[in-house]
Amino acid sequence: MLDAVTPGRSEAQPAGTDGAAGLEGTEGRVRPVIEDVQPVVDDGRFPAKRELGDEVVVEADVFADGHDETACELRWRHEDAPGWQSVTMSALDNDRWRSSFVVSELGTYLFCIQAAVDRFATWRRDLARRIEADQNVAVELLVGAGLLEHIAARAHRSDRRLLADTADRLRSSSPATAAGTAAIVELLGAPDLVAAASRYPDPETTVCSSDFSVTVDRSRARFGSWYEMFPRSASPLAGQHGTLLDAASRLPYVSSLGFDVLYLPPIHPIGVTNRKGRDGAPSKSRDDPGSPWAIGSAAGGHTAVHPDLGTVADVARLVEAAGELGMEVALDLALQCSPDHPWVAEHPDWFRSLPDGTIRYAENPPKRYEDIYPIDFDTADWQSLWEEIERVVRFWISHGIKIFRVDNPHTKPLRFWEWLISSVRSDHTDVIFLSEAFTRPKLMHRLAKLGFTQSYTYFTWRTSKWELESYLRELHTPPVSDFLRPNLWPNTPDILTEQLQTGGRATFMSRLVLAATLASSYGIYGPAYELQESRPRSSGSEEYLHSEKYELRHWDIDDPKSLSPFITTVNQARRDNPALQHDRNLEFHGVDNEQLVVYSRRWTGAHSDRTRTRPEANTVLVVVNLDPLYTQSGWVDLDLTQLGLDESAPYTVCDAFTGSRYEWRGSRNYVSLDPSIVPAHIFRVEPPGQGGEPQTKDPRNTDPRSKDPAR
Amino acid sequence: MLDAVTPGRSEAQPAGTDGAAGLEGTEGRVRPVIEDVQPVVDDGRFPAKRELGDEVVVEADVFADGHDETACELRWRHEDAPGWQSVTMSALDNDRWRSSFVVSELGTYLFCIQAAVDRFATWRRDLARRIEADQNVAVELLVGAGLLEHIAARAHRSDRRLLADTADRLRSSSPATAAGTAAIVELLGAPDLVAAASRYPDPETTVCSSDFSVTVDRSRARFGSWYEMFPRSASPLAGQHGTLLDAASRLPYVSSLGFDVLYLPPIHPIGVTNRKGRDGAPSKSRDDPGSPWAIGSAAGGHTAVHPDLGTVADVARLVEAAGELGMEVALDLALQCSPDHPWVAEHPDWFRSLPDGTIRYAENPPKRYEDIYPIDFDTADWQSLWEEIERVVRFWISHGIKIFRVDNPHTKPLRFWEWLISSVRSDHTDVIFLSEAFTRPKLMHRLAKLGFTQSYTYFTWRTSKWELESYLRELHTPPVSDFLRPNLWPNTPDILTEQLQTGGRATFMSRLVLAATLASSYGIYGPAYELQESRPRSSGSEEYLHSEKYELRHWDIDDPKSLSPFITTVNQARRDNPALQHDRNLEFHGVDNEQLVVYSRRWTGAHSDRTRTRPEANTVLVVVNLDPLYTQSGWVDLDLTQLGLDESAPYTVCDAFTGSRYEWRGSRNYVSLDPSIVPAHIFRVEPPGQGGEPQTKDPRNTDPRSKDPAR
């Protein structure tokens, strides 16, 4: 409903706080205060993040002096909408209030809270107490009539008559008899009257919070399965440079695994000067293709496509082919240049010159990266630089790209990103920026706050039970969950973790299940992942041996040892269960084995299926064996409340890998996972009366060995 | 030092956050950000509280993109001072920075944080790494020279020469030889150069936090022992109405007990209409003196003194007599009126009229308090009302009163208090307001935030070990400890707790020790407390039987059963130990007995003795037996780090009650407390080499029975 109430006075301008100054311009009769509004990031400096269709639950502390009743309203609007909508907030315990609104448009919503002392509600409450105590309320009825008449005077025409009529009836009521009193109680309790009387708080004494903002993204911002792939390795012929069209031919495979986003490392021309060769050593061969992150050559820079990969038009073709499979293509935005990038000649002042006339290479002293010049954002010409980068982003948007994976954003100014993302999204609200910042926690958080849609995380190196529990709990809990959407990666072309080097197939499986079920967005670098590539460049290094960063690889995606069936099952479970598509919903459960980690995701929100919105609950329970070598068993100790279950009734858990159904009861149940088969359960939890019949009632018989479709 | 640096750009105005708007007026080269500054209350909406002489420790998260060195400065000034002072902040872990400043004037201080990327420090750090790796640094020296020349150009004359000379030497240095390199390292490591080079961050790229404020009060705001007393009961003759001069005669007694603040319930004329009689019943006798909180009669209102108590001049005499004993007098500010108050006739619109022409009594429906009219702060004439109340406060200030205990502030508008306190303190920075609000937690907190100097707390009803530990920990920890100064009361004229009704002498002793040692301000309502008055008006009531609120009492302060020697000892321990005079310093320790509570207070700040400031540590360890009936013993498990001790060396604890000294060792020590003697230890903890020799080395022999001076 459109709200006609004049916004009240701002809480940010209290009366006479400027010391001995007079009371001019202040209003001393504003009594409520509003504190600790949520969801709010850094006191409103940044927006909170939500997705299309979300119910934004807003809470605040609202209270006034004394014991009067307070009325509290949540107001919101899309920033482009002309007027506010509003809803009455409900009081929880301890002066906390709550309500919510649903976001149905992309872009920025504003919300605020408005509070007023409700004199009529206070009077009605007190009258009930007086009647209860058999006091004479004759005079009180006249007081109430007067209050109603005041409200009627500022009410909308549609309510004025009811308010005035009720006032008249109070004036003529006879509370001396039991019947008279009963009539008054009935009169005052009528829902229409209660609603009408509360609809018009006195604007003079109403207080408003600041406006706070919520950024609303499309659901892909929260839920997506990413597949990173080097198109130059996508040729069906070994040793031949792959193209974007080869990558398009690989799309049905990637889609069949259940991925939604195909992410390509930089596709631009690669510099020749100081080109890196195999495993990052200086190139010794003209055949070395160079690192895709050494961007720019005589063939062009950030808006060009490497001639061996194809053309800009091929990008649009790839995007189209992906779209036909329900997939999207993400490009890499890596703001650095090879010495041969056109910008070096056109804008030498965008780079840092040395007194000897050369340009400074990328460095981490004493290390040097001679094939790359970092851009100098401290340049006096920073405005042109920023605008040129925005032009690059808009160029690719104009060719169908809606997702950018941003390389090392933490080494470029924070203000630049805040401006760039805001500027691009001002007319492209559906564009997604993924921050690839593996750096200090506060810097990673700031990048998320200032506008990055999603963020890489430390998940990659969180391997022990304690690490996983504490870190993922942080990611699913405010304040972090209000501004940072995690995207979990078990590997990347830069990171072959020690665990993947040594853990074998079981570790590739368990890390994939963890990434795919601990948060709603995850990704893998393939085909290295499904083919379990585990050889490091050298002992102690996280670099891949024969890294695709420096050479073409040929992958046998049909290798029978591939984990592709397993990955397909996991991604299907993600698609089947809304609980795995939402955030802020992770709970860990107890288990008497340190090698087992047990957690649930539960979703009870509205499920929009385009035609109608129906409430539906979905709960997933995951058990992962962290030990790649041995079967681990234990008794889980489930928090049934978190699972939406009660103590008494049995319930069914259905495993995604085997399809087996087990009847469980109560909080303690037995699990056993053999890593040589499948090191995880992904159970859908079905309360009594939901889903099919369990296949077995033996709680110990959860061994998925015989029916594992993932093998 | 006065700081000449031009304030940098505000963090609150980031570049281009207004979406697609242009880059006009922004500065894109500002790279650091400043987050989570402490101490800050509600993001700066309210000041933090500190006391004269305090070291205000300021922390913040400060970081920039990339890996450059950041320079961070804390700036502060008294609001009346013309310029900022500043100090360099130190980096802690995880992008957290810290520094501090000392507050030496009453009133409001402002502070902010300024941060810049330090290109010269970054260069120096990288140069060291290059030299370490034996790289050729010839060109780097020219880079460094250029950076120094840039700094020199904006430096103060006193630094310019050093900076320019160093640049020259870098230009002419020869790094080719080991000796040449060593000379460069020595040149660049000179503290004078490091300091001079860091003193002039580029103002164009410097960022400033908002200004935050700290209210500085005199030390009485934090540390004081209060004694509440009805002057009308202070006559030496039973049955005779006491006077303010009788109260003055009682001062030496109160002072000898160790109290600093004499607090008087309202001393104004008491209304006649609907006067309350004994135990709050309607008065049936002309002799009933009425409730002092039913303020106002034909003899005057809030600026008059009850004729039976004396005159306004007597107030000044009482204040003077107190001052001679090092004490102060606190008055009650109770904003309500008897029906006979002059305001009722002069300002009928300050009260709420009923349709029958009467004025509404104070009520909590269905209860009525017919001897009191509440003031209607919703009056249209609120400005005159506010100003009249301010006049009352200023009237008593002009008669020597510097402390106001405010009755039920939570039933008057929050904006009114914020204005009143700010207005009064704008020219009376030494005035203290104690909030007597026993209400919901967020309302109590808001009153503290908006300006009340001190606050009553829930301590009165926190009796179990768990309650005491969790509540007092909250009070000693930010954010609460930054805005709320607790004043702990085991009893008041309104509150005789069930525990005091039933627990006997031991409970009066243990509650006093808890109140006096768990926070730096505490108070008792006497002589009821030291004489252990414990009779309730009725079973289940917290009202005193024969409450002084409604009748005169005659107290035998020389009763040999009085706790006055015990109280004297406790107050002396408070005076002897700075740790008991500071807040934010409470730690609880383990003990294997649920009836024992063990805690320490430690103070390591600067101790100002007027002539010099010397660092000094003081640690107090308190053990209280909560069981009033039985001896309770146990092994304490001390956190030695919190006590400033190490594992290896023995240390001495000296008991305030017995003077006994015990040598303890390590964290586990035995205690035993017999409530029929003294239910508490107040130990001063003396590290090795401090204090006298221990009297006993038997750790079990801590029974204070034989030497209790408090009996």
Chain B residues whose CB is inside 8 A of the A427 CB are 20
pLDDT of residue A180: 86
- The H-or-E segment that residue A618 falls in is strand A618-625
pLDDT of residue A606: 56
pLDDT in tens, A446-503: 999 999 999 999 999 999 999 999 999 999 999 999 999 999 999 999 999 999 999 9
For an interface test with A, the pick among B390, B415, B429 (most A C-beta atoms closer than 10 Å) comes out as B415
Close Cβ partners of A399 (under 8 Å, ≥ 6 residues apart): A312, A315, A316, A319
Out of B12, B35, B355, closest to residue A139 by CB: B355
pLDDT in tens, A678-687: 999 999 999 8
Question: Cα torsion for B214, B215, B219, B220, to the nearest 10°?
Answer: -150
What is the least distance, in Å, from the CA of A653 to any CA of chain B? 40
Asked if residues B653 and B661 have their Cβ atoms less than 8 Å apart, the reply is yes
pLDDT of residue A361: 93
At position A322, the amino acid (one-letter code) is A
What is the number of other CB atoms lying within 10 angstroms of the CB of residue B613? Answer: 13
What is the number of other CB atoms lying within 10 angstroms of the CB of residue B330? Answer: 23
Chain B, window 184-243: residues with a beta carbon less than 8 angstroms from a chain A beta carbon: 205
> What is the residue-averaged pLDDT of chain B?
92
pLDDT of residue A605: 74
d(CA B620, CA A178): 66
Classify B532 as helix, strand or coil: coil
d(CA A704, CA A707): 6
Inform me whether the pLDDT recorded for B570 exceeds 90. yes
- How would residue B694 be classed by pLDDT, with cut points 50, 70 and 90? very low
Distances (CA, A) of A584 to A222, A278, B410: 11, 43, 37
Out of B12, B15, B415, closest to residue A415 by CB: B15
Distances (CA, A) of A190 to A137, A163, B435, B682: 19, 12, 41, 63
* Residue B168 is among the residues annotated as catalytic for this protein: no
pLDDT in tens, B99-138: 999 999 999 999 999 999 999 999 999 999 999 999 999 9
Chain A residues whose CB is inside 8 A of the B383 CB are 23, 28
For an interface test with A, the pick among B419, B424, B449 (most A C-beta atoms closer than 10 Å) comes out as B419
Chain B residues whose CB is inside 8 A of the A205 CB are 378
Chain B, window 404-433: residues with a beta carbon less than 8 angstroms from a chain A beta carbon: 410-416, 418-419, 422-423, 425-427
Domains and CATH numbers, chain B: 20-216 (2.60.40.10), 579-686 (2.60.40.1180)
Question: Cα torsion for B311, B313, B315, B318, to the nearest 10°?
Answer: -120
pLDDT of residue B609: 43
ipTM of the prediction: 0.91
Inform me whether the pLDDT recorded for B707 exceeds 60. no
Q: Nearest Cα to B70, choosing from B81, B59, B62, B78?
A: B62
Q: Taking CB atoms and an 8 Å limit, are B414 and A31 in contact across chains?
A: yes
Largest CA distance in chain B: 106
Buried b or exposed e, range A89-98, using 16+ CB within 10 angstroms: beeeeebbbe
pLDDT of residue B22: 61
Whether chain A has a CB inside 8 Å of the CB on B17: the answer is yes
What is the least distance, in Å, from the CA of B412 to any CA of chain A? 6
Chain B, window 448-477: residues with a beta carbon less than 8 angstroms from a chain A beta carbon: 450
Higher pLDDT, B582 or B647: B582
Chain A, window 30-69: residues with a beta carbon less than 8 angstroms from a chain B beta carbon: 30-31, 33, 35, 42-43, 45, 61, 63-67
What's the whole-model pTM score? 0.92
pLDDT in tens, A425-435: 999 999 999 99
Task: Name A603's bridge partners.
Answer: A618
Q: Is the dihedral of CA B672, B678, B684, B689 positive or negative?
A: negative
| Residue whose token pair is 């969801």 | A39
Q: Picking from A576-580, A606-610, A650-654, B397-401, which range would have the lowest pLDDT averaged per residue? A: A606-610
Q: Taking CB atoms and an 8 Å limit, are A414 and B64 in contact across chains?
A: yes
Whether chain B has a CB inside 8 Å of the CB on A87: the answer is no
- Note the helical H segments in B308-413: 312-324, 342-346, 382-397
d(CA B518, CA B710): 20
pLDDT in tens, A38-87: 999 999 999 999 999 999 999 999 999 999 999 999 999 999 999 999 99
pLDDT of residue A710: 37
d(CA B19, CA B16): 6
As given in the structure block, the two tokens for residue A516 are 């795919």
pLDDT of residue A397: 98
As given in the structure block, the two tokens for residue B182 are 């060593």
Task: Assign 3-class secondary structure to A164-225.
Answer: HHHHHHHHHCCCCCHHHHHHHHHHHHCHHHHHHHHCCCCHHHCEECCCEEEEEECHHHCCEE
Sheet strands side by side (includes A90-91): A33-38, A55-63, A96-102, A90-91
Classify A570 as helix, strand or coil: helix
Inform me whether the pLDDT recorded for B696 exceeds 90. no
DSSP A433-484: EEEE--S-HHHHHHHHHHT-SEEE-GGGG--SHHHHHHHHHHHTSTTHHHH-
d(CA A645, CA B303): 65
Asked if residues B294 and B223 have their Cβ atoms less than 8 Å apart, the reply is no
Higher pLDDT, B704 or B341: B341
Chain B residues whose CB is inside 8 A of the A377 CB are 28-29, 31
d(CA B186, CA B409): 64
Classify B333 as helix, strand or coil: strand
Q: Taking CB atoms and an 8 Å limit, are A146 and B414 in contact across chains?
A: no
Inform me whether the pLDDT recorded for B373 exceeds 90. yes
Buried b or exposed e, range A365-383, using 16+ CB within 10 angstroms: beeebbbbbbbbbbbeebe
Task: Name B621's bridge partners.
Answer: B600, B683
Task: Name B369's bridge partners.
Answer: B362
d(CA A508, CA A563): 8
| Residue whose token pair is 């294997």 | B592
Whether chain A has a CB inside 8 Å of the CB on B136: the answer is no
Q: Picking from A619-633, B169-183, B251-265, which range would have the lowest pLDDT averaged per residue? A: B169-183
- Note the helical H segments in B99-175: 119-132, 138-154, 157-172
| Residue whose token pair is 């002489």 | B53
Q: Nearest Cα to A414, choosing from B39, B35, B118?
A: B35
Q: Taking CB atoms and an 8 Å limit, are A443 and B16 in contact across chains?
A: no
- How would residue A5 be classed by pLDDT, with cut points 50, 70 and 90? very low
Buried b or exposed e, range B438-464, using 16+ CB within 10 angstroms: bbeebbbbbbbbbbbbbbbbebbebbe
At position A172, the amino acid (one-letter code) is S
* Residue A663 is among the residues annotated as catalytic for this protein: no
Asked if residues A87 and A40 have their Cβ atoms less than 8 Å apart, the reply is no
Identified catalytic residue from B11, B211, B246, B407: B407
Chain B residues whose CB is inside 8 A of the A72 CB are none
What is the number of other CB atoms lying within 10 angstroms of the CB of residue B705? Answer: 11
pLDDT in tens, B399-441: 999 999 999 999 999 999 999 999 999 999 999 999 999 999 9
Close Cβ partners of B48 (under 8 Å, ≥ 6 residues apart): B39, B40, B41, B56, B212, B213, B214, B215, B482, B483
Report helix angle B157-172 to B138-154, nearest 10.
Answer: 170
> What is the residue-averaged pLDDT of chain A?
92
pLDDT in tens, B185-224: 999 999 999 999 998 988 888 999 999 999 999 999 999 9
d(CA B499, CA B490): 10
Inform me whether the pLDDT recorded for A593 exceeds 60. yes
At position B73, the amino acid (one-letter code) is E
Cα B566 to the chain's mean position, in Å? 26
Q: Picking from A11-20, B123-132, B615-624, which range would have the lowest pLDDT averaged per residue? A: A11-20
pLDDT of residue B612: 44
Distances (CA, A) of A566 to A130, A224, A352, A495, A562: 70, 18, 49, 22, 9
Tell me which chain B residue has its CA closest to the CA of residue A45.
Answer: B12
Inform me whether the pLDDT recorded for B6 exceeds 60. no
Q: Taking CB atoms and an 8 Å limit, are A415 and B14 in contact across chains?
A: yes
As given in the structure block, the two tokens for residue B639 are 């956190």
